[in-house]
Amino acid sequence: MGDSSDIARGIIWATDNGADVINMSFGADSTNRVEAEAIDYARGAGVTLIAAAGNEGARLTMYPAGYPGVLGVGATDFDNKRASFSNRGPHVDVVAPGQGILSTYTKKPCFWTSGTSMSTAYTSAVAALAMSYSPGAGANR
């Protein structure tokens, strides 16, 4: 992962290149002007922004999930309850499966992992699918 300016450039690039949904499986516990401006730019273009709520297991607002207009995603466990590691609070808009998810990683072809990043990927996929059936269904449209 890069720094805030790299993240902002990625958001702007995705927006300028036709993204309808941007999955942001990263976060920090403080706001950042450069990222916030890029998110505002994407929202202004009608992009649906979806972000991980964080894995501290606390009532802690993480960003970008905490920015206005960003859908914050928490994680559920195998019993469809809030996963113990999933953050909670006003920045969590929805929850999705986040425990024991088969994923990829740079050093392994695939492995089982847990986290709100996994939940965010599911939610982003559902948003894209919904938008494919009903264009204009996303945020700010």
**In this predicted structure, what is the pLDDT of residue 141?**
39
- Tell me the average pLDDT of the chain: 93
CATH number, domain of 41, equals 3.40.50.200
Residue 138 placed within a domain: no
- Give the model's confidence band at 91: pLDDT under 50 very low, under 70 low, under 90 confident, else very high: very high
φ and ψ of 95, to 5 deg: -125, 155
Residue 140 lies in a domain: no
Report how far residue 44's alpha carbon sits from residue 115's, in angstroms, rounded to the nearest whole number: 29
Pick from 61, 52, 98: which is nearest to 79 by CA? 98
Q: How many CB atoms lie within 10 A of CB 78?
A: 9
Distance (Å, whole) CA 59 – CA 105? 28
24 within some domain: yes
CB within 8 A of 39, min separation 6: which ones? 11, 49, 64, 67, 69, 70
Residue 62 lies in a domain: yes
Q: What is the pLDDT of residues 45-82, one digit of tens each?
A: 999 999 999 999 999 999 999 999 999 999 999 999 99
Structure confidence at residue 137 (pLDDT): 67
52 within domain boundaries: yes
Q: Identify the pLDDT of residue 88.
A: 96
Work out the average pLDDT over 12-16.
Answer: 98
Give the number of domains in the chain: 1
Average pLDDT over residues 103-111: 84
Q: What is the pTM of this model?
A: 0.91
Is the model's pLDDT at 139 over the cut of 80? no
Residue 139 falls within a domain, yes or no? no
Report if residue 77 sits inside a domain: yes
Does residue 60 belong to any structural domain of this protein? yes
Domain that holds residue 69: 4-133
- Beta pairing partners, 6: none
User: pLDDT class for 106, splitting at 50, 70, 90?
Assistant: confident
Interval 3-23 mean pLDDT: 96
